[in-house]
Amino acid sequence: MKNAILFFLALFLTSAAVCQDPALLRPPKGTQVAIVVFEDLECPMCRVNAPLEASAAKAHKIPLVRHDFPLPMHQWSYKGAVLARYFDTQGKLGNDFRDYLFQHQSEITAENLQSFASKFAGEHKIDLPFVIDPQGKLAAAVDADKELGRKVGIQHTPTIYVVSSRNPQRPFVEVTDVKQLFQIIEAVQSE
């Protein structure tokens, strides 16, 4: 029992230390503050929070960086993230596709996801190939986001951070109450 407690304590401290690495969470080059979100396309709270995150980014004129963090218990979120990466290659429409999936989240199943992707592609006059990711590059990008999330210590979706290059002592703040997102951005911007 004592060994198990020590193991979990060590695991907790390791993940907390990793989460404190400011190099993992930085705003994009050329910006000082950004919103960084780890989301799962089947997550109901991700769907609810996505419009608020976009609104906050627009209102404060800062980037919104979305990372795919599909959870293993969700049947279609990983494939949806790969499809979003495909649409990123077709005119940077990946986030529009993510928002489209959020709008239709309750209707989508693993069996009909492809038909939603086809409809989105048709609405944007994009050809949707039979094989979306023949070389696995898009899946590798999703996996890279998942790995970043693991290194940061993501425990749930959505996980929202306001990141900054302004204050090296506080390079990021996790938003635990989305109602405070605007205030947190303003506080970080004023540092």
pLDDT, tens digit (0-9, with 9 covering 90-100), for 82-117: 999 999 999 899 999 999 999 999 999 999 999 999
Quote the domain boundaries for residue 160: 2-190
Please tell me the predicted confidence (pLDDT) of residue 171: 87
In total, how many domains does the chain have?
1
- 41-51 burial, b at 16+ Cβ within 10 Å, e below that, comes to bbbeebbebbe
Assign residue 35 the CATH number of its domain. Answer: 3.40.30.10
pLDDT tens digit sequence for 135-168: 999 999 999 999 999 998 898 999 999 999 888 7
pLDDT of residue 2: 43
